[in-house]
A and B are shown apart, each in its own frame.
Chain A
């Protein structure tokens, strides 16, 4: 977690997003929010509750149900000097805006040879474990992390939410800000008061260890940490790294850890094939193969289209802290 001064407030992740957006709206007249039901309803998770009363419909924009143009209009606003924060109500609904994110936002600066820029944030709740069924549970990061011109952040702790969202809003280029739904109210933590930023591309070593490096992000960071703490009791020492930022990704933190522990387990909720773990594995194989004492392992979602609504289908899709602990034990034993 970021440095916590005496001057902190305990918040959950919803409150951290909300407080950060509020401060941004207060301090920068160029910041506006657009999305479905962000006005009177205050967003489906109440993140923007009461904003429209304070900042008005001009800055808190209830859009038509039209995701391509939610992003596309934000692109135009950004090109014209505003600092829009576009919201996609659930990550599952981001597909209609794929063109605007990948074909437009990510390429505005590049295609205009730097004449135009696109400083905007796309916030969206993602992830499962909330009985969200097929189309309110997906992870989307792997679909976008292939795209040069985009930055992608996926914080897990309230203090990181605040620091990274501040950075994302200040960033001169488009940033996707992924919020894991299950962590929204589940995860509480101390958040420093006042304005601060956390640089993109900096992972956080949550727990030091010597026998295995575990790299994760999102909800699974919390479960991996839980598993690693449990293994302490068995005399197993696991290092847990929270990526926080997916693109750019912190190579140094991963390599330093792997060179120390000589074993790497990557854990993510998104499915395995072509996922974030694939890129990390390839990077470690290229850069640190001879430091490894065991094959790299990935514990990921299965390669099925999505988790189901029925509890057994959701549970089968998700990895549990117990499964994570098992994978860690096996790796350490290898």
Chain B
């Protein structure tokens, strides 16, 4: 892992404290546990749909550490379980959306993983790829408009989404107006069944930054510390009025796209198993144990805690009521509203 200084053998922690490193690892464990729970519940027939982020844990847990709660804004996409946990969503909130229960932020209207929480500074995401990105620069414009210092917007999307026109429009506008905006691309090499080479001729997405007139950079998204460093550098620049940055984290999608996808129709188990050797969760565990940030005992305890939290969140969310049929009619507009005025 890139985070060990090969000359001295010490951990390159980029200012992260032991507590922060432990929090990153815990987030990674919780992501994986919640992911598994979603898929289990789907196989048990309890929920119609689930979507996992395995392979993105390090990238998201690291990126979340560079987010300032209470001031920054996050415009995530559906793969961002760990980012959303890392900026303050709870396992319970995640399970509410998986079960589509009434207290869910979206009131059970949207698919799971369509994160939204005004309180957490988390902008609403629809299923429409790249459509959230103009919203993110609009929010960044609002920050600049009001002259608010020290705030920035972090937006994310997958590699495939960078083919959309709105992705381009977003980057261009952010650059023209030097907005406090960071575009984080999570490059997992797949867009459902379409591999990167069919998505773009130049696979290094970060290189596009030059064309927009903003800095760009690529980092190893299997390394949470390297991710933190890259995202923090970009967010700090944005917060200080230095304008937007395009950053690309490389990772891999270990699971099928969702519970509705069978990835064995377009890639082999062998290829996935080969990439599993880089799995960031055991790798980061080994790194932290090696450097004495965690003991094997600590790790065992953390795994227990995360399982307990997941179980409790599952039970608590499942016990909540569904939205009622009457809820279908709420929030079309402010107040009661009909297309025919009488």
Chain A residues engaging chain B, CB cutoff 8 angstroms? 32, 58-59, 63-64, 66, 68-69, 71-82, 84, 96, 99-100, 103-104, 107-117, 148-149, 151, 172-173, 200-202, 245, 247-252, 283
Interface string of B117-140 (1 = CB under 8 A from A): 110000110101001011111111
B136–A76 contact, CB under 8 A? yes
Residues from chain A with Cβ under 8 Å of B135 in the complex: 72-73, 75-76, 79, 104
Task: A249 to B143: give the CA distance in the assembly, Å.
Answer: 37
Task: A244 to B60: give the CA distance in the assembly, Å.
Answer: 50
A249–B332 contact, CB under 8 A? no
Residues from chain B with Cβ under 8 Å of A112 in the complex: 105-106, 116, 118, 124
Residue of A58, A115, A173, A283 most packed against chain B (CB within 10 A): A115
A173–B173 contact, CB under 8 A? no
Tally of contact residues, B, Cβ under 8 A: 46
A108–B124 contact, CB under 8 A? yes
User: Which of A81, A109, A202 is close to B333, meaning CB atoms less than 8 Å apart?
Assistant: A109
A116–B142 contact, CB under 8 A? no
Beyond A72-B131, A111-B109, A115-B118, whether A77 also contacts B142 by CB under 8 A is yes
B202 interface hit (Cβ, 8 Å): no
B45 interface hit (Cβ, 8 Å): no
Question: Apart from A32-B145, A77-B141, A80-B139, what are 11 other A-B pairs with CB-CB below 8 Å?
Answer: A72-B138, A72-B166, A75-B134, A76-B137, A76-B142, A78-B138, A79-B123, A103-B128, A107-B126, A111-B106, A148-B332
Beyond A80-B143, A111-B126, whether A173 also contacts B334 by CB under 8 A is yes
Residues from chain A with Cβ under 8 Å of B142 in the complex: 76-77, 80-82
B333–A115 contact, CB under 8 A? no
Interface string of B130-173 (1 = CB under 8 A from A): 01011111111111010000000000000000000110011011
Residues B72-108 near A (CB distance < 8 A): 73, 104-107
B106–A249 contact, CB under 8 A? no
User: Which of A116, A148, A250 is close to B118, meaning CB atoms less than 8 Å apart?
Assistant: A116
Task: A58 to B144: give the CA distance in the assembly, Å.
Answer: 9
B134–A68 contact, CB under 8 A? yes
Chain B residues engaging chain A, CB cutoff 8 angstroms? 73, 104-107, 109-110, 114, 116-118, 123-124, 126, 128, 131, 133-143, 145, 165-166, 169-170, 172-173, 176, 330-334, 337-342
B341–A251 contact, CB under 8 A? yes
Task: A293 to B165: give the CA distance in the assembly, Å.
Answer: 53
Task: A76 to B145: give the CA distance in the assembly, Å.
Answer: 13
Task: A59 to B147: give the CA distance in the assembly, Å.
Answer: 13
Task: A112 to B116: give the CA distance in the assembly, Å.
Answer: 7
Between-chain CB contacts (< 8 Å), 22 pairs: A72-B134, A72-B135, A73-B173, A75-B134, A76-B136, A76-B141, A77-B141, A79-B138, A82-B142, A99-B131, A100-B166, A104-B131, A109-B334, A110-B109, A112-B124, A116-B116, A116-B124, A148-B332, A247-B339, A249-B341, A251-B340, A283-B340
Grouping DSSP codes into helix (H, G, I), strand (E, B) and loop, the A interface class, with mixed when no group exceeds half, is mixed
Residues from chain A with Cβ under 8 Å of B109 in the complex: 110-111, 113
**Nearest CB of B to A320, in Å:** 31
A252–B123 contact, CB under 8 A? no
A69–B332 contact, CB under 8 A? no
B139–A76 contact, CB under 8 A? yes
User: Which of B172, B330, B334 is close to A66, meaning CB atoms less than 8 Å apart?
Assistant: B172
Task: A115 to B119: give the CA distance in the assembly, Å.
Answer: 9
Residue of B nearest to A71 (CB): B134
**Nearest CB of B to A242, in Å:** 15
A68–B106 contact, CB under 8 A? no
Beyond A58-B145, A66-B172, whether A249 also contacts B339 by CB under 8 A is yes
**Nearest CB of B to A204, in Å:** 13
B169–A248 contact, CB under 8 A? no
Residue of A nearest to B177 (CB): A61
Residues from chain A with Cβ under 8 Å of B176 in the complex: 64
Residues from chain A with Cβ under 8 Å of B173 in the complex: 63-64, 66, 69, 73
Residues from chain B with Cβ under 8 Å of A116 in the complex: 116, 118, 123-124
Top 6 A-B residue pairs of the complex, sorted by shortest distance between their CB atoms: A76-B138, A72-B134, A201-B341, A113-B107, A76-B135, A69-B169
Residue of B105, B123, B169, B337 most packed against chain A (CB within 10 A): B169
**Nearest CB of B to A37, in Å:** 15
Residue of B nearest to A148 (CB): B332
**Nearest CB of B to A80, in Å:** 4
Residues from chain B with Cβ under 8 Å of A72 in the complex: 131, 133-135, 138, 166, 169-170
B137–A73 contact, CB under 8 A? yes
Residues from chain B with Cβ under 8 Å of A32 in the complex: 145
Residues from chain B with Cβ under 8 Å of A245 in the complex: 341
A251–B342 contact, CB under 8 A? yes
User: Which of A71, A79, A172 is close to B334, meaning CB atoms less than 8 Å apart?
Assistant: A172
A73–B124 contact, CB under 8 A? no
Task: A151 to B142: give the CA distance in the assembly, Å.
Answer: 24
Task: A126 to B338: give the CA distance in the assembly, Å.
Answer: 25
**Nearest CB of B to A150, in Å:** 9
Task: A76 to B143: give the CA distance in the assembly, Å.
Answer: 11
Residues from chain B with Cβ under 8 Å of A68 in the complex: 134, 165-166, 169
**Nearest CB of B to A304, in Å:** 28
